[in-house]
Amino acid sequence: MDLKEAGLCEGISEVIATTRSASGVPNAAPIGFLTREGNYLVKLYKGSQTLNNIIETKKLAANVTDDAVLFVKAAFDTLSANFYSLFQGFPVLKEANSWILFKCDFIEERVESFLFQLTPITAEVNKKGVRAINRGFNAVIEAAILATRYGIVKDEREKEEMQKMVEGYAEIVEKCGGRKEKEAMRVLHEKTTRFHVISTIIEG
């Protein structure tokens, strides 16, 4: 199965992982997905719903998207049922450009995370297209990733540095982004009120 066709290239892909619990509750959250020499690996942090679900049901779908709003919502919100469609009972995202369903095998436990090896079961490509590079889109992704980490950082100087970086990303979104990217930044702001710096820029 050529996962490049479905959008997973070498390196770390930022995708939205969909999973389900043993009782069938779906979940969506961004993850970094490592592709290296034909191997697929994910590192999942302890306490995350994605990890809990994989321990229970041993499957994960990697949903490939270029929708900045969807990415931010998956990071900070609970997606409602109408975001999902079911493939043989497993939740995937309706609006994903593609998704790949994997079987997950436990490799090792680390201090803060678990490592899994993934084996592809099936893939579906929903929307092929062409899209020019947009720095605003890229800045939303960076800001969202920073924002998910912000909560676990203790060091005040590091927190300050992160805020400064998010300020820079918000400026790039204002300058280079389209409506979708600006909406995504507003959602990010709503969901992460701790980032005062974003509110200053967006509301200012």
Based on CB atoms, which residue is closest to a second copy, 11 or 106?
Answer: 11
Tell how far CA 167 is from the center of its chain: 21
Per-residue HEC secondary structure of 2-14 comes to CCCCCCCCCEEEE
According to the binding rule CB under 8 A, does residue 7 interact with a second copy?
yes
According to the binding rule CB under 8 A, does residue 185 interact with a second copy?
no
Q: How far is the CB of 59 from a second copy (least distance, A)?
A: 19
Residue 92's closest CA among 114, 125, 116?
125
Report the alpha-carbon distance of residue 118 to residue 102 in Å, rounded.
6
According to the binding rule CB under 8 A, does residue 38 interact with a second copy?
no
Interface positions, 113-172, toward a second copy (CB under 8 A): 125, 127-136, 138, 141-142, 145
Report the alpha-carbon distance of residue 121 to residue 101 in Å, rounded.
5
Interface positions, 16-35, toward a second copy (CB under 8 A): 32-33, 35
According to the binding rule CB under 8 A, does residue 64 interact with a second copy?
yes
Residue 83's closest CA among 7, 27, 148, 165?
27
Q: How far is the CB of 98 from a second copy (least distance, A)?
A: 5
According to the binding rule CB under 8 A, does residue 179 interact with a second copy?
yes
Are the CB atoms for 68 and 184 separated by under 8 Å?
yes
Beta strand pairing status for 90-93 and 84-87? antiparallel
Q: How far is the CB of 126 from a second copy (least distance, A)?
A: 8
Based on CB atoms, which residue is closest to a second copy, 24 or 149?
Answer: 149
According to the binding rule CB under 8 A, does residue 81 interact with a second copy?
no
List, in order, residues 6 or more apart from 50 with CB less than 8 Å away.
17, 19, 27, 29, 31, 44, 60
The binder of a second copy chosen from 21, 66, 120, 121 (CB under 8 A): 66
Are the CB atoms for 17 and 50 separated by under 8 Å?
yes
Q: How far is the CB of 203 from a second copy (least distance, A)?
A: 20
According to the binding rule CB under 8 A, does residue 61 interact with a second copy?
no
The contact set with a second copy (CB under 8 A) reads 5-15, 32-33, 35, 62, 64-66, 71, 97-98, 125, 127-136, 138, 141-142, 145, 175-179, 181
